[in-house]
Amino acid sequence: MGIALITKDYENTVGKQRMPVIVEFYASWCPKCGMMYPVVERIASRYQGKWIFYKIDIDISKEIAEYIGIEIVPTFVVYRDGKICGYTTGVLPEETLEERIREMLRK
């Protein structure tokens, strides 16, 4: 599938992509994160080759979550040209998450 797990080298992994990047910060113990799993999988599948999706477990990669300032999971951070162009949090319907990502990328 088109979603990779990041555990280190965050800035190089995300910052050097030519395509937009969506990073989901999640936790394995978070039921809301589990609810978003199939939603993110479907969106990633539709946008394969156009957007790059990554996941970061905040318990495994605490330093990355702290660096970005993640306080709530799930949080979706959207990057364009290596820079954050927006984020959204919580459980969202598929259409809403997709539209929010598109809006952030239009800014």
> Which residues touch 1 (CB under 8 Å, ≥6 apart)?
41, 44, 45
30 part of the active site? yes
Q: Which residue has the tokens 């800035």?
A: 11
CA 68/CA 63 separation, integer angstroms: 9
Which residue of the set 3, 6, 17, 30 is catalytic?
30
Rounded CA-CA distance 28/60 in Å is 10
Q: Look up the CATH number of the domain holding residue 100.
A: 3.40.30.10
pLDDT at 102: 96
**DSSP code of residue 106:** H
Number of domains in the chain: 1
For 17-38, the three-class secondary structure string (H helix, E strand, C coil) is CCCCEEEEEECCCCHHHHHHHH
**Active-site annotation holds for 33:** yes
Average pLDDT over residues 86-93: 97
Domain of 48 in residue numbering reads as: 3-106
pLDDT of residue 2: 58
Average pLDDT of the residues of the chain: 92
Choose, from 23, 33, 56, 64, the residue flagged as catalytic: 33
The model's pTM: 0.91
